[in-house]
A and B are shown apart, each in its own frame.
Chain A
Amino acid sequence: MHLLLFTSLVFAGSLAAGLLGALTGLGGGVVLVPLLTLCFHVDIRYAIGASLVSVIATSSGAAAAYVREGFSSVRIGMFLEIATTIGAVFGAFLASRVPIHALAIVFGVVLLYSAWLSWQQTRHPATPQSTANPWSDRLRMSGSYPDGSGGRCAYTVDRVPAGFATMFGAGTLSGLLGIGSGAVKVLAMDRVMRIPFKVSTTTSNFMIGVTAAASAGIYLQRGYIDPGLAFPVMLGVLGGSLLGARYLVRARVSLLRNIFTLVILALGVEMIVNGWMGRS
């Protein structure tokens, strides 16, 4: 395939991945690596490098819109970024030591897990009210968010060590696979630390960029980030996600989410099978 055609196709695929990622809230990175490796036969290391770059772009590009809503907490984010950045550095080191077939299998498992989380989220139960935890105030992480009728709703955080550990895991996955691992970050805040869902998702978006930047430097020096591949991927995913954010309210999200979940499920199975057979 010649460069012009290849670049155009990769750009179109990335645009679609970014659009679907934004519409469903699952992020574009998680389908991008399977798309590049399975459809375009790109080596998984180049795919991971390009994906990571696009993750930084979408996270930072959406930041201003998220701030306007007033849900994100800069303190919770910054504190947990200690765990995610250290995890990301660890993951990036692991990435060069793990055989690429194993990398494909791990990626497949993460895809299956994302599909399961996505399926669950449609039946998301209300976050249980957290009990008073002394660490919440001690670490100045208690806060409040707009309740939609002019007032503010106060919240505290719970189970800080468990949340911190889960965040380390999220960072490791991000550095290992070049994804934002937003789903695991939201899980750590929403389910483990019992932070309100909206606060968790918006704060997670901020953390994704910083986490990805921590492994990007290592990827760059290892030569995982190829300019010829990274540029259509970055611009495509960014364009798609900004477009998706704009039409978020109008789209039929539940149907889209179901389709996207099935796509992720299928890609996950294929990644595992290919990795297992040594074809990735």
Chain B
Amino acid sequence: MTVKNTNSAAHVAHPTPQPGAHFDDRRMETIMGRLLQAGVLLASAVVLIGGGLYLKAHAGTPVNYRTFSVEAANLRYPTRLLASLKTGDPAAIVQLGILLLIATPVARVVFAVIGFAIERDRLYVAVSLIVLAVLTFSLLH
């Protein structure tokens, strides 16, 4: 209860109520939860479509995952993935879904940067930016 009081007191202090006047950590987490759920739903739908087409195209072919061989480069790099998508390659559609899935938690961190900025919490804007920098490094390395 005391937490709520201090929050509303802080908001009263603003001369003009901002769009994010009632924005607090709880609200941020609720939006994050929805964001993550939407991202997973979208990614799953794309993977499901791609997977269905993949099965249809290769249903009778024998599988071998026993030995590791680095797959076609155009599936491994987002820029080249686009070219394969244009030809309607089912594996590329699955890979696009997986990219969307990986982007979902990244979007959450981007949203955290915005959320903490609205809260005017510089320390946590910096913290979120560091996490975002590590994620960007790993994705673009």
- Cβ of B23 within 8 Å of any chain A Cβ, yes or no, is no
Residue among B40, B68, B95, B128 having the largest count of chain A Cβ atoms under 10 Å: B40
Which residues of B, 84-109, contact A by the 8 Å Cβ criterion? 90-92, 94-95, 97-99, 101-102, 104-106, 108-109
Which residues of A, 217-267, contact B by the 8 Å Cβ criterion? 217-218, 220-223, 225-232, 234-235, 238
Q: Report B44-83 CB contacts with A as 1/0, cut-off 8 Å.
A: 1001101100110011111101111011000111000000
Q: With A72-B29, A227-B94, A235-B48 as known contacts, state yes or no: A43 contacts B68, CB within 8 Å.
A: yes
Chain B min CB distance to A205 (Å): 10
Residue among A43, A60, A139 having the largest count of chain B Cβ atoms under 10 Å: A60
Other-chain residue from A53, A61, A70 in contact with B98 (beta carbon distance below 8 A): A53
Q: With A74-B32, A220-B76, A223-B76 as known contacts, state yes or no: A56 contacts B104, CB within 8 Å.
A: yes
**Which A residues are in CB contact (< 8 Å) with B138?**
85, 88-89, 92, 214-218
Q: Report A75-103 CB contacts with B as 1/0, cut-off 8 Å.
A: 10011011001101100100000000000
Q: With A232-B51, A238-B40 as known contacts, state yes or no: A3 contacts B98, CB within 8 Å.
A: no
Contact A53 B65 (CB under 8 A): no
**Which A residues are in CB contact (< 8 Å) with B139?**
217
Contact B101 A63 (CB under 8 A): no
How many residue pairs, one in A and one in B, have C-beta atoms under 8 Å apart? 196
Q: With A56-B101, A59-B105, A78-B124 as known contacts, state yes or no: A1 contacts B112, CB within 8 Å.
A: no
Contact A74 B65 (CB under 8 A): no
Contact B105 A56 (CB under 8 A): yes
Number of interface residues of A (CB under 8 A): 68
A7 and B57 CA atoms in complex are apart in Å by 13
Interface residues of A (CB under 8 A from B): 1-4, 6-7, 40-43, 45-46, 53, 56-57, 59-61, 63-68, 70, 72-75, 78-79, 81-82, 85-86, 88-89, 92, 139-140, 144, 151-152, 206, 209-210, 212-218, 220-223, 225-232, 234-235, 238
Closest 7 CB pairs between A and B? A67-B33, A217-B139, A227-B94, A231-B51, A64-B33, A223-B70, A209-B105
Interface residues of B (CB under 8 A from A): 1, 3, 25-26, 28-30, 32-34, 36-37, 39-40, 43-44, 47-48, 50-51, 54-55, 58-63, 65-68, 70-71, 75-77, 90-92, 94-95, 97-99, 101-102, 104-106, 108-109, 112, 115, 121, 123-124, 127-128, 130-131, 134-135, 137-141
